[in-house]
Amino acid sequence: MLDVNNIEEWRKIDSPFQNSEDIPLLITKLRNTLDKEILVELTSEYMYHQGSIYESTFAVFPHLIEICESCKDLNYRLETLLYLSVDLAGFNGETELMLLSKL
């Protein structure tokens, strides 16, 4: 899992807006607040945007799973998993495996 404190590594990964260095702060805020707006921003702007997934998809995914596992709010956990399911529905294999191999 890509460390949220390693901003230099985050800058190297592909995202829809070439601003992957913003993601660690969002993950940290989400971990501390469970803010649904941040969850939606991560999943719909950085992980799956306009029908495409990116290297950032695979970098963010384990963090959201970890947050989900530690969350006591079952509705929030379910909602997180549903957002992740939608994002991964865009996974078509070959291209995404090439992205994943770069991480």
* Residues in CB range of 5: below 8 A, 6 or more apart: 24
pLDDT at position 95:
53
How far is the C-alpha of 90 from the C-alpha of 10, rounded, in Å? 22
Question: Are the CB atoms for 64 and 77 separated by under 8 Å?
Answer: no
Spatial separation of the C-alpha atoms in residues 53 and 35, rounded to whole Å: 23
Could you read off the pLDDT of 37-83 as tens digits, one per residue? 999 999 989 988 887 788 898 899 999 999 999 999 999 999 999 98
Name the residue ranges covered by the structural domains of the chain.
Answer: 7-102
Q: CA 40, 58, 17, 26: dihedral to nearest 10 degrees?
A: 50
φ and ψ at residue 35, rounded to 5 degrees: -70, 120
